[in-house]
Structure 1
């Protein structure tokens, strides 16, 4: 457990961020905070400050907009992330990608492990790497363990797109970006995505750009 003197700089950092009001600034790729990993949350922020920080993460996610934000993406090296996905996608996309609505959730000290051998590959992006997307093959189903913001245990299996979100955000807490796992030949600008690769699956992109799918 961190000592009070160890917590002071972290608390000051969070209070400084919250003092500005509104959505928090997203840290872009290239900042070392995205690569150092995070320390487990063990009460470094007292409950009222934690609640304010969580609400700021939620506001930031909505404003971006995105379906998840991890604490390092706002410069805070704590093992905390938030996710939420209204999944406003066509039925065909929902069925192919397994993208179903996810309510707002706080993940504290999360970790995941694969469930089965299935993998799924789709384009994904990141708020810390704006303007680009790439195909990432991820576990189709994962078991997530950790806690919520109230310290209650979380032990749940996620499948489809929710499993992808959980893996993406948890990876952030380990100092990983989605590009570390991506098929780099698939890297496409948002403009190219809109013009060429809006199909439910990346099959056409795979054939045209020359990368393999699992």
Structure 2
């Protein structure tokens, strides 16, 4: 039947969430909201409230800091996510990972499908799984569809690190965490990452920890 908060209309829950100043609390792995999936956005939040919610997601993403944040990560099961990546990385990392700056964007009802058969494997982390990273092999290019916060359609091919961000955040909206797709033997604490695995690619980690790369 659910708790009163779960039964409350989404708009009321968002209003309550936004009643406190500053970044929103980020939900950690183990909370059911991260596993239920989300309902498509279809005007549940009127435009002014949607704009406030999007701004709160942006502030929370920056404060974390992260390069993406999905609505379920703040406890709201709507198919909305935000992404932004200034990509302040060395040139060798940029080249190896295809990591280029991404402006702030809102993804509404996003979906993706692979383009081609190429896959790329790199360490990922997640704001809802703090303190850990693991290698995830993902399609190197995807077709992103959906809309922005103003209802304008999205239909584009995304490659490199931006494609990884899109997949990671869209997965959140389907109740999937990056750990579900990760190489289990690659799981590393942030401390281990800093000491051992800060190379542009995870090839040394694969050899030392005993997992395969695509």
- TM-score greater than 0.5 by the shorter chain: yes
In the alignment, does 2:167 pair up with 1:167?
yes
Aligned match of 2:145: 145
| Equivalence for 1:178 | 178
Residue number in structure 2 paired with 1:3: none
Paired position in structure 1 for 2:3: none
How far off is 1:9 after superposition? Answer: 2.0
In the TM superposition, residue 8 of structure 1 has moved relative to its aligned partner by 5.2
2:198 aligned counterpart, secondary structure: coil
* Separation of aligned partners in 1, 2:205 and 2:41: 40
Aligned positions of 1:30-45 closer than 5 A: 30-45=30-45
In structure 1, distance between residues paired with 2:7 and 2:196: 48
1:18 aligned to 2:18?
Answer: yes
2: distance between equivalents of 1:104 and 1:165? 12
Moved over 6 A (4+): none
1:12 Cα deviation (Å)?
A: 1.1
Q: TM-score with structure 2 length normalisation? A: 0.96
Aligned to 2:49: 49
Q: Match for residue 200 of structure 1? A: 200
Q: Distance in 2 between matches of 1:118 and 1:32?
A: 33
Structure 2 unmatched ranges of 5 or more: 1-5
Counterpart position of 2:122? 122
Give yes or no for contact 1:7–1:44 (8 Å, CA) kept in 2: no
- Structure 1: tracts of 5 or more residues without a match: 1-5
Please give the secondary structure, in 2, of the residue aligned with 1:19: coil
The match for 1:134 is: 134
